[in-house]
Amino acid sequence: MIKKIAFLLVFFQLLSCSSSSTTGASSENSLNGKWNWVSSTGGFIGSTLTPASEKKTMTIEISNSAIKRYENGKLLSENTFEIKTQNSIYGDNKKMIVIEDRPSQSFEIKDNKLFLNDECHDCYQSEYVRIK
């Protein structure tokens, strides 16, 4: 039950956001594409969630200013977002995915991996891999 609650928290926090100054379109363009969920780590109990442990797949599709979320191939949500630079709880200013009325998520792209960090205490850091 705790794993299911934690997974749902991760999922809804992936829809994150807040506000501040906008960064350039290059950050947004580098996010464009489809991404498969690899794992999420964190939460109050410090758990690690994976598609195997949760018995489901999760994919995000990002294009320009829209983000679509899929679970086991089924569309769960579609939201518009902005890329902004904001003060991070992890220190310094970071690029954030901002969706209205949601907590922000900082992000980093390394090679074909996307790292999403929920900007709240006891939240999750998630890893995705780009679908080629």
* Interatomic CA distance for residues 121 and 123, integer angstroms: 5
What pLDDT is recorded for position 26? 53
| Mean pLDDT, rounded, for 30-55 | 94
- Written as one letter, the residue type at 112 is N
Phi, psi of 119 (to 5 degrees): -90, 60
Beta strand extents in 43-112 (DSSP E only):
47-49, 58-63, 66-71, 74-80, 82-87, 93-98, 105-110
Whether the CB-CB separation of 52 and 37 falls below 8 Å is answered with: no
Assign 21 a pLDDT band (cuts: 50, 70, 90). very low
* Interatomic CA distance for residues 47 and 108, integer angstroms: 21
- C-alpha closest to that of 13 among 97, 102, 127: 102
- Residue 19: how many CB atoms within 10 A of its CB? 12
Q: Is the pLDDT of residue 61 over 90?
A: yes
